[in-house]
Structure 1
Amino acid sequence: MKLLFLNWIFLITVCYSEKDGKHLEVRERLKTALLQDYDKTLIPLMNSRQPVVVELGLSTMSMDLQGDGLLNMTNGNILQWKDARLRWNPEVYSNITSIRIPASKIWIPDIQVYNAVNYGENSFSDSLRNPDRHLAIVTSDGKVLLYTTHKLQIRCDVAKTVPGPGEVFIDRGQLDWPWGKYECEISMGSWTYSSSQIDLKPYLNRNYIEYLDQNNSPYLFTEDSFKDENVITCTRFKCCADLYQMARFKFKVEKRGTVTAQGLKLMKKDDKMLLISPFLLFTLVIISIIGTLFTISKLCHRKPNFLVE
C-alpha cells in the first residue's frame, strides 16, 4: 500500500513537471518566433498614410523645488503602441495571450523631454537609451506597453516681472518664496519622427500627470493645474519642413504647507487642509512651555524615596 502511494505521488510530480516544462518551452518558442528576422531599427509603420499611434502618460512619486527654480521629480513614464510584427495566434501557443520581452530587443519610440535640464544617468533620456533595464509587455494583438522610471529636472518660473517703464525683474525668493505657486511645464515628443510617422496621444486620454504618492512629497500640484484639455500640440522646427507633435503638461506647484493671510495651512495625510491661526499657534506653544515647566517644578520639589517615612 505504501509503495502504491509513493508511485502515485511520483506520477503526479512527473506529470506536473512535464506540463510546466512544456509551458516554458512554448514561451521560448513564441519569443523566438516573434524576434526572428525582427529589425528593431525600423518603425512599425505598416501604412505610409497611417502613422503609429503612441500613447504617452506620466506619473510622479515626489517633487522638490529649489530656490533657483529647479524642480526635481521622480517619475514613471508609460508608452503604449502597436507593432503588427509582434502579433500571434494564442491557439497555436497554448492560449498564451501576453509575454514579457526585453525592451532592448524591439523598436521603441524615441520620446524625449525637450526642456529637461539633465540628460545624464537615471534621466528620462537615459532610461530609454538603456532599455535592457526594462521589460515590455506584449499582447497577442501586437500591443506593446512599456513602463519606465526616471529622475527628471526642469526649470520652473520662480521669478516675476513687475510691469511698468523698463519692466523690473524681481526674484520671487525676495517676495513669497517658498510659499508661492510656481508655474512649470514638461514638453515631450519624438526626437526624429514627424507627425506623419508618429501620432502622439495622451495615455487613457489623461491630460494630467498622475500623482502616485502625495504623502511623501515636499511639493504638490495646485488645484488649478492641468487646465488644458488638449495637451498635444504641433510645431515646426527650423531644421525640418515636417510637423512634429509635442505633449505639453502645464502645471503649478506649491509647498506642502502654505501661508495665507489667515494663518498657516498644514497638509494632513488625507490631503485635507487644517487651518491654524497665528494666535492659536502661539497659544499652543505657550501651553506646551507652561506644561513643561510645571512638570520640571514637580520633579524638583519631590522628596527622594529614602527620605519619605
Structure 2
Amino acid sequence: MSQICVAALFPSNPRASACDCLAHRFGNAADRPDRVQRYPSDMTDAQWAVARDALPVPAWLEGRGGQPEGYCHRQMLDAIFYVTDNAIKWRAMPCDFPAWDRVYAFFRRWRKNGMAREFHDRLRGRLRTAEGRQVEPTAGIIDSQSVKGAASVPAASRGYDGGKKINGRRRHVITDSLGLLLMVLVTAGNVTDRQAAHMMLPPLHARFRKSTLIWADNGYTGHLVTWAKEKLRLTLQIVKRSDDMAGFVVLPRWWCVERTLGWLMRSRRLVRDFETLPASSETFIYFSLAMLMSRRLARPACRPPSEQPQWAAAA
C-alpha cells in the first residue's frame, strides 16, 4: 500500500471534533467524539500522534473504492487495544466505546486486508530509525511458542505439542536483533519448528532482501540449514548450549526473541489462543506489539527534535 502520511493529506476541518482522525475531519463519525481516556490501554495524545502517522491509507482516499470511515480511528484502536490487553469477549465491549459489532468489523477488515501488519510494520520502521538502525534489518532470530487452545479453537487448526505437552497452537516468530517482529505464523501445536521455517523463510527472504543471517536453536538443525543456504542464500546459524550449562542461561542473541515472546504474554488475549482463525491470532499479535512500539515511540527520547516538548529540548 501507499506510504502516504494520512495526517498530512488534508487540512483540518474547523467544524470537526478536536480529534484529528479522518472520520472526524470529514464529519462522518457516528460515535461520541469526546470520550474520556480512562483505561490503561488507551493511547495518550503523544501515542496517538505516533499511531496516526502510521495508519494505512484508506482505499477510498486513493480512489480505490469503499466508503469514508464512520467511526473514529483513535476510538477503534483504543477498543482493539482494550480487547488485546484484557482478553474480553467482543460482546463485552465497554459502553463508552463504539458498538462491539462495529469494532469487530473494523478488526476483521484490517485482518482481511493485511492492514494490521502494515500498521505494525510502519511502527517497527520508525522505531528502528529511532534506535539508530536501518529500516530493513540484515539479521533475524527465529523461535516458537506453544500456547493452550480454548474451546473456541477448532480441531482442524489445533494440535498436541509433545515436547511442551500442550494441546493448542504454536506461534512461530522471526524478529530482528532488537526483538521487533518481522514475521509471525500461527499453526497447530503439532507443526514442528522445521516445518514452519520452510514456510516462513521464503517470504521472509522476499520481503527483506538484505537479511542474510538467521539465528536459531537446536530445533532448526538438520537439512533445513543446507536448504536455506542453497535455495535462499540464508545462513541459518544454530545457537547451541554448552554441555556444562545447567538451568537457565542467557544465550547470545537468543534472549532477544525470548524477550519478544515474553512481551506477547503481557497481553491477556495472547496468554491462551481464543481465536477460531489462526489469522485472528496473528492479527492480535500485531496489535499487541503495535501497542508496545507506539508507547516506546511516544517517549520524548524517541521523538524527532521537532516533535519533542520544550522541556525535553532544553534538558
Q: What is the TM-score with the length of structure 1 in the denominator? A: 0.20
Which structure is larger by alpha-carbon Rg, 1 or 2?
1
Higher-strand-fraction structure:
1
TM-score normalised to the size of structure 2?
Answer: 0.20
Bigger fraction of residues in helix: 2
